[in-house]
Chain A
Amino acid sequence: MATEKTQASDVISGEWNVRYNYSVGKVAGTFFDALKERKILATKSSKSGISYLPPRAYCERSFEPCDEWVEAGHEGVIEAATIVSAAFEHLPPPPYAIAYVRLDGIDTAMINFVRNLDMSDVGAAMEKLKPGTRVRVEFIDDPKGEVTDFHYVL
């Protein structure tokens, strides 16, 4: 349709920024407190026998409460990994590596960054991150009780 543009722009700009206060709940506080002591705690359901990281209050499968805490090992195995090369808004500057790692003694894998990795050649770096590769947990110097207190290293 040959209508003439009567406005300076063909879009109107807007923002959607809503503040939230998320309740920590039953298990996250214990998990975060333990991080300050350099411990990674998983929850476990005695009914299903499954231990969960990230921890949760209930077993999604048996639908019974998770009624035990289990301390995860500080080593584990990569289940999946990638190196991000593209920049995304509000995400870290690339490149960076992330991996799902199943820590020793725990049935599920938890995601975190893989640090201290030479990523100058992404293909070569990915060779080192194959599923099955053993990695270890490294804590930051001054853990604050946040999930970013630790990361994985080869």
Chain B
Amino acid sequence: MAPKYQENDAYILGVTLHEAMPRVADKRLEEMVYDTAKEALDAVGISRRALDHVTIAACDELDGRSISSMLLAAPAGAYLKDEIKATDSGLTGLCLEATRIRSGRFHLGLLVSWNKSSIAPFEDVMRMRCEPFYTRPIGLNMSISDGLFAAAMQGVDEADASKVAASYRQAAAKNPRGVAAVPVAADAIAASPYVSTPLREGHRPPVTDGAVAMVVVSGAWLNDHPDARPLARLSGIGWSLESYQLGGDRLASMLGLKTAFGDAMKDAGLGNADELDVIEIEAQTAFHDIATRQALALPADQTVSPSGGPFAQNPYFCTGLVSAAEAVLQVAGKAGPVQAGRVKTAAAIGFHGFAHQGNVTAIFEEIPA
């Protein structure tokens, strides 16, 4: 019988999300990571010993550990394994993992990312992203750079953003994997305080504590393990880092998003966005959601972030990988109450850096029966 799977393709065998909470009070970060990694392996019957590599994605400064993988690699399953950490975002970890599996050098890996947002002063850490000469004295952070971006967007008013935020809060309330989000009406969001005009408090999802683990395998491994049933194929991946300078063009063009998305679609052999059944967007503001739809010319009836997106849970650094997990669950038909019917292809779009400087798109395909 001919092999069923392309040898060097990457497949998601299992996905585990740590319980989403505003603050995980009863575990230290190492324990959150261990619990998530352990559950991911146990759920698919893989022993840690069998892994041939581990990829992690984490941020030292948010973790409050100057080389955080020193403490966290072992609870992520990496003891005496080939392990590399990506620092940009959880979803960037998936990019690194894709290069590892697709190289043909690795076949059975664990990808783990986390953020215990509650331990660190988020914006104080972000402020240290400023170079010390021109921006740090002014004091840029995520809120302010996102406010600049929202102000630079043409043709989007605050009321639109308030409506979008309200709709995601509603969707998030149905997601059993999210924090118990309480729906808030658009007019209440529109009346919430400004953070950085025109960005209001209610336009942003609050940060939460969380962790994600994915068991990722090669097609060659699946051909050798015919009983294994992957959840999805990682059919396309693309990433792009834009300019650091926050000029008007850089803020409003969404060029990095278009590049990353275009590369991922090409990698997946897809053409138009309407070939995607679901798109999960890690929109850190409602303005980002609107800007993404506009930049990618998504049709009005496109299913976007049925999970509620970051309004369901937002462990900031790894939120993009949470979006990827939700996309995987959609193509596997396992998204539960937020399942969007039969989903053959789903994308996850993530951002990192000031005003979406970093952009990642991952595309997942269902496994034919």
Contact = CB atoms under 8 A, between A and B. Distances in A.
A19 B132 CA distance: 20
Given A57-B34, A58-B75, A60-B75, A18 B128 contact: yes
Given A25-B31, A26-B31, A58-B75, A18 B26 contact: no
A18 B24 contact: no
B356 interface: no
B132 A12 contact: yes
Please tell me the size bucket of the interface on B: 20 to 34
B103 to A, nearest CB: 26
Contact of A23 (B25, B61, B121): B25
A20 B119 contact: yes
A58 B202 CA distance: 39
B64 interface: yes
Contacts of B37: 63
A22 B47 CA distance: 30
Given A14-B132, A14-B136, A18-B128, A63 B119 contact: no
Most buried by B among A18, A26, A63, A65: A63
B164 to A, nearest CB: 32
Contact of B79 (A14, A21, A61): A61
Contacts of B31: 25-26, 57-58
B79 A16 contact: no
A119 B102 CA distance: 57
A39 to B, nearest CB: 21
B64 A20 contact: yes
Nearest to B137: A12
B119 A22 contact: yes
B224 to A, nearest CB: 22
- Interface size on A, as a range, is 20 to 34
A12 B41 CA distance: 49
B119 A58 contact: no
Interface in B116-164: 116, 118-121, 124-125, 128, 132-133, 136
Contact of B28 (A18, A19, A24): A24
Nearest to A22: B119
Contact of B26 (A16, A20, A23, A56): A23
Interface in B72-108: 74-75, 77, 79
A32 B28 CA distance: 14
Contacts of A110: none
Given A23-B24, A23-B26, A23-B27, 7 more contacts: A18-B61, A18-B121, A20-B119, A22-B28, A57-B34, A63-B48, A65-B38
Interface of A: 12, 14, 16, 18-26, 28, 56-58, 60-61, 63, 65
17 contacts: A18-B61, A18-B121, A19-B124, A21-B119, A22-B28, A22-B119, A25-B30, A26-B27, A57-B27, A57-B34, A58-B34, A58-B38, A60-B79, A61-B79, A63-B38, A63-B48, A63-B77
Interface of B: 24-31, 34, 37-38, 41, 47-48, 61, 64, 74-75, 77, 79, 116, 118-121, 124-125, 128, 132-133, 136
